[in-house]
Amino acid sequence: MVDLAHAALNTPAMTNPLDQVFAALADPTRRAILAMLLEDDMAVTDVAEPFAMSLAAISKHLQILAEAGLIAQEKRGRVKWCKLEPDALRAASVWMQGFGVFDPVDLDAFERFLADELADQAP
């Protein structure tokens, strides 16, 4: 399977660091890895343990996270370690906060609206 986010990282449009962060965050496996690294630094083999995929596949996910600046990797002896780089999320957070000026969506009211619209369209 082709990893579109990783392929996109190598296109001219993906030279923007914010684009790289969002492309990296688009994958649920990579988001899970970041959540794991919130606890502490981890060896690559420990990162891979809970996932039903090869070590090579996990390494590709880690490479994408590193290219986006979300994690750092370092070799300690013969073991490669991963460390969360929380500052990399700052630009994404600032960008998303710009959308906070809108009122929150009332999901109950939206559901009622949809139900009414669908009822009106029923034959």
Average pLDDT by stretches of 10, the chain with 123 residues: 51 73 95 94 97 96 97 96 90 82 71 80 66
Yes or no: say if 70 and 88 are a contact pair by the CB < 8 Å rule.
yes
Which pLDDT belongs to residue 83? 96
Give me the pLDDT at residue 1, please.
Answer: 47
Amino acid at 6: H
C-alpha closest to that of 73 among 88, 87, 63: 63
pLDDT of residue 22: 94
Calpha distance 107→46 (Å, rounded): 40
Sign, CA dihedral 82-2-32-12, equals positive
So what's the pLDDT on residue 123?
A: 65
Helix (H) / strand (E) containing 72? strand 71-76
pTM: 0.70
3-state SS, residue 74: strand
DSSP-assigned letters across all residues of 13-35: GGGSHHHHHHHHHTSHHHHHHHH
pLDDT at 114: 79
Q: Determine the straight-line distance between the first and last CA of the chain, rounded to whole angstroms.
A: 44
The second-level CATH assignment, the architecture, of 4-121 is Orthogonal Bundle (1.10)
